[in-house]
Amino acid sequence: MRVLFFTGKGGVGKTSVASATGLKAAQKGYRTVVMSLDLAHSLSDAFDVDKHRLDESEDRLCEVRPNLFIQEMDVQKEIRTHWGNIYEYVADLLSTAGLDDVVAEEIALLPGMAEVVGLFYINRYYQRGSYDLVILDCAPTGESLRFLSMPTALEWYMNKVFRAERSVMKVARPLASMLYDVPLPEEDYFEAVEKIYDRLKGVQGLLEDPSSTSARLVTNPEKMVVKESQRAFMYMSLYGVNVDMVVANRVYSDKIQDSYLENWKKTQEEYLRLIEQSFAPVPVRTVELFSDQVVGSDAIQKLGDMIYGDEDPTELFHEGAPLKFKKDGEVSKALLKLPFAEKEEIELSRNEDQLIITIGNFKRYVTLPRSMAHLEPFGAEMQGDTLCVKFGGEDDVQE
């Protein structure tokens, strides 16, 4: 089974690109499902499908074309089903802290819950062999991708903390309840955590295997959108998910001769160059702005043809992690693949949370994780075809 994540800033056309990929794959004979992880679902709108068809299905899943299914999860229902006792405990805790009950229930919907429910479905479909291709239309923010670290973090918690915490609670709960009004997790809370862990078993290996899983970034050639895409790329690199394509969407065609749009076209040209530089060597596909909204099978088909042509959309278009971050003692490192580069050619500079690497006319913009963004680079070396940039303390700048 192949898994494709589509992510990008809200409004860039991510759902349309995910839908077009699903339609192309289904036409090539792959049994495909496109899942929406966004709270504001628009998959059914893209295919112009009556939402009642989804409402009639227990999992809000329906076949829209031969071999092609779409799924718009009922996030509230799914969270209460899979996270019920955890959700209720967090809500009770917030209510005890003085929050209004409705506000407490709203805040108890922790970030990433919907995405982790998506992982449940991926694992289920993988174990049952339900589909050849699963496409995830992710929520519109790079930080939502932090849910990719959930299986690893949960495994560490289960192996190192869970059993001890559960045993301590059995002993401490009766006494603590007599002394404090703060609710403590009951046994059903721990059972819920254990159930989540069991349902996520094996999914981490699937996500980190580039032959099985790839991420595709959808962006527009505009400053704020490209910045968001760079951060999403950084998160993917941190979590070990292979990015095999970037789609630069809604680009003004050269055929458009309108003085009103001249500045826009120049701006897009500038940011298209930045997109190529920021994500190299990951391939970038450029899609021209449509003359109307992308709704219905004909428009989605046209979009898919513009992105993939006659290619198989399930292919692995790029493999390898061009960007990695690691920590060695007190020193943090950014590792960037730069084949054929010589150390003498490389210039480094900083711009807020970005490291800028210049080699002749080539520039690479590397968005740094928050844990490294405040550190200054103090050394760089080539390790084979990989540039290693070292970062020290906030004021620890060395020549």
Phi then psi dihedrals of residue 371, to 5 deg: -70, -15
The per-residue pLDDT for range 283-304, each reduced to its tens digit, is 999 999 998 999 998 999 999 9
Both 221 and 127 in one domain: the answer is: yes
242 domain residue, yes or no: yes
Q: What is the pLDDT averaged over residues 361-380?
A: 81
Which of 273, 308, 343 is the endpoint of a domain? 308
The per-residue pLDDT for range 113-137, each reduced to its tens digit, is 677 788 889 999 999 999 999 999 9
Both 37 and 144 in one domain: the answer is: yes
pLDDT for position 379: 81
pLDDT above 70: residue 395: no
CATH number of the structural domain spanning residue 47: 3.40.50.300
pLDDT for position 128: 93
Q: Find, among 157, 20, 28, 178, the residue nearest to 86 by Cα.
A: 157
Task: Decide which of 180 and 317 is more confident.
Answer: 317
Query: Domains in the chain: how many in total?
Result: 2
Percent of the chain residues topping a pLDDT of 70 = 85
173 domain residue, yes or no: no
Both 340 and 293 in one domain: the answer is: no
Instruction: For the chain, give the mean pLDDT.
Output: 84
pTM for this structure? 0.79
Which of 283, 308, 333 is the endpoint of a domain? 308
Q: Which of 54-68, 217-231, 327-341 has the lowest mean pLDDT?
A: 327-341
Both 59 and 137 in one domain: the answer is: yes
Q: What is the pLDDT averaged over residues 59-63?
A: 90
Both 16 and 76 in one domain: the answer is: yes
Q: Give residue 74's domain range.
A: 2-153+201-308
Which of 308, 335, 357 is the endpoint of a domain? 308
